[in-house]
Amino acid sequence: MISLPSAVRVFLCSRAVDMRKSFDGLSGLVQECFGQDLLDGHLFLFVNRRRDRIKVLYFDHDGLAIWYKRLEAGSFQLPDAGRQDGIELRPAQLALILSGIDLDSARQRKRFRPAKSAPARNDGKSSEMHLHNMNERV
């Protein structure tokens, strides 16, 4: 399992990318597909047309780094991005993609998540906050 700091975000370029591109070519796609600053330390994923190769571009404290994987058989299954050029993934989705797990059949079990916009209800009888559980697909 990949362990990433909580501040690191993962972005996937949904269009097919020429894997001959290196630092400069992929850096240009970061701004074009995601509108993000490459130096923020986030991970930017790029796949080829056959989806059997993936490159991850990121800034590593003092310079750019590329992580590259080529599958000997099979292909990477990617989430549907619709008409968007780039989408954000959760770190768990990245781990599933790299492990070859079918994203359509993978389900995330219920977990506690505090309600973001719902105000805390306190009727004076209890100090409990009403929180929501959310079901999310991975």
pLDDT in tens, 59-86: 988 999 999 999 999 999 888 888 888 8
- Flag the least confident range among 50-54, 109-113, 131-135: 131-135
- Exposure string over 86-108, b if 16+ CB within 10 A, otherwise e: bbebebebbbbbbeeeeeeeeee
Confidence band for 45, pLDDT divided at 50, 70 and 90: very high
Within a domain: 105? no
Residues whose CB falls within 8 Å of the CB of residue 97, separated by 6 or more in sequence, listed in order:
54, 76, 77, 78, 89, 103
Domain of residue 93 covers 10-99
- Model pLDDT, residue 136: 40
Within a domain: 30? yes
- Model pLDDT, residue 118: 52
Within a domain: 50? yes
Could you tell me what percent of the chain has a pLDDT over 70?
A: 82
Higher pLDDT, 13 or 109: 13
Within a domain: 126? no
* Distance (Å) of CA 123 to CA 38, 55, 113, 114, 132: 48, 53, 22, 19, 18
- Model pLDDT, residue 16: 92
Within a domain: 31? yes
Element (H, E) at 55: strand 53-59
Within a domain: 78? yes
Whether the model pTM is above 0.85: no
Structural domain tally of the chain? 1
Q: Is 26 exposed, middle or buried (0-12, 13-18, 19+ CB in 10 A)?
A: buried
- Model pLDDT, residue 63: 93
Within a domain: 119? no
